[in-house]
Structure 1
Amino acid sequence: MNISFTKKQEEYISEQVQSGEYQNNSEVIRDALRLHSIYREKVIRDLRKEIEKGWDGPDSQRSMQEIIASKRKA
């Protein structure tokens, strides 16, 4: 696998290793991927909850055009 990083990302990875918190660059990347996975799962779970609230909630008395118009004003 070939991965490219920006200069800023490379500097960040190096700083993390130099801090002593990680033994090498691979550990930093593995931890970042693990945290990304946790974050992504939480976002998806939260979105599903909001969708369920919408489906289970009361019907709106407003038309679709009224809802769209109110969002454009905001």
Structure 2
Amino acid sequence: MGLKMSEILLIMGVLLLLFGGSRLPQLGSALGSAIRNFKRGFGGEDAPADDKKQPGALASNGTVEKDVNARSTSHQG
């Protein structure tokens, strides 16, 4: 009694029309976060240390800043 492929495609099409392509990743992320928080709250357990993300972890090595600084100094002179 699960969902058939045509029903899943119809639901995805409606979501795409309602929220647009740029908002769907944000919606999925928010939904996943809400489910994780619900499970944690329902189980009464704290979040594991591995699950916590640090902001700005992608650019923590500074390569983006180095590239921007290198380009700005090369274009100035």
TM-score by length of 2: 0.37
- Give the number of the structure with larger relative contact order, counting CA–CA contacts within 8 Å between residues 6 or more apart: 1
Instruction: Kindly indicate which of the two structures has a greater share of residues assigned to helix.
Output: 1
Q: Give me the TM-score of the superposition, normalised by structure 1.
A: 0.38
